[in-house]
């Protein structure tokens, strides 16, 4: 997990709650487990480089139990006062503890305070785990908002 000099250990939390902390970052954490999770977010067995599918994606390191265990990407849009969770990846050895769902929830709370009113998620069509994740997180599937990106889009229903 993070080295003693890892810059995320010195940055202020962007959001915190439910045993999870999000820290703004310039790049994904330098951790093979998280890198594997990011590649699996594209497709099981993916070996190549992974670039953010959405422009202007901000990255947040996901920390739980004092360790960096994943990364969350958030992009503006597709509409006014909306954001898209462009990806969430948790190291395989830390999965099964609802860390990703909790990370999305604390990000939603922070963003609501900042005036965001609509929340979207996306998962590449070949990523069954990602599709299931968004359903489990309470998001409803939509017709693709950007057919060219070969992803299934989801929206958090408004109360």
For residues 83 and 77, give the distance between their C-alpha atoms in angstroms, rounded to a whole number: 5
- For residue 9, the SS3 value is helix
Residue 108 CB neighbours (<10 A): 18
pLDDT tens-digit series, residues 16-75? 999 999 999 988 777 676 666 666 654 455 455 555 556 788 999 999 999 999 999 999
For residues 8 and 31, give the distance between their C-alpha atoms in angstroms, rounded to a whole number: 13
Q: What are the strands, taking DSSP E only, across the chain? A: 15-17, 20-25, 58-64, 67-76, 82-90, 118-124, 140-142, 151-155
Say if residue 14's pLDDT is above 90.
yes
For residues 40 and 50, give the distance between their C-alpha atoms in angstroms, rounded to a whole number: 10
pLDDT at 29: 73
pLDDT at 51: 55
Question: pTM for this structure?
Answer: 0.84
Question: Domains in the chain and their CATH numbers?
Answer: 7-155 (3.40.630.30)
pLDDT at 37: 67
For residues 153 and 159, give the distance between their C-alpha atoms in angstroms, rounded to a whole number: 19
For residues 61 and 146, give the distance between their C-alpha atoms in angstroms, rounded to a whole number: 26
Considering Cα of 95, then 11, then 114, then 118, what sign does the dihedral take? negative
């Amino acid at each position: 997990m993070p080295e003693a000099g890892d810059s995320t250990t010195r940055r202020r939390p962007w959001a915190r709650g439910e045993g999870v902390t999000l820290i703004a970052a310039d790049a994904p954490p330098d951790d093979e487990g998280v890198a594997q999770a990011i590649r699996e977010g594209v497709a099981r067995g993916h070996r190549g480089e992974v670039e953010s599918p959405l422009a202007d994606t901000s990255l947040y390191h996901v920390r739980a139990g004092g360790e960096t265990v994943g990364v969350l990407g958030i992009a503006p849009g597709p509409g006014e006062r909306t954001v898209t969770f462009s990806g969430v990846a948790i190291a395989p050895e830390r999965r099964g503890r609802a860390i990703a769902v909790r990370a999305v929830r604390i990000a939603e709370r922070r963003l609501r305070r900042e005036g965001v009113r609509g929340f979207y998620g996306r998962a590449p069509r070949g990523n069954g785990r990602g599709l299931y994740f968004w359903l489990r997180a309470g998001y409803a599937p939509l017709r693709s908002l950007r057919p060219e990106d070969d992803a299934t889009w989801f929206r958090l229903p408004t109360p």
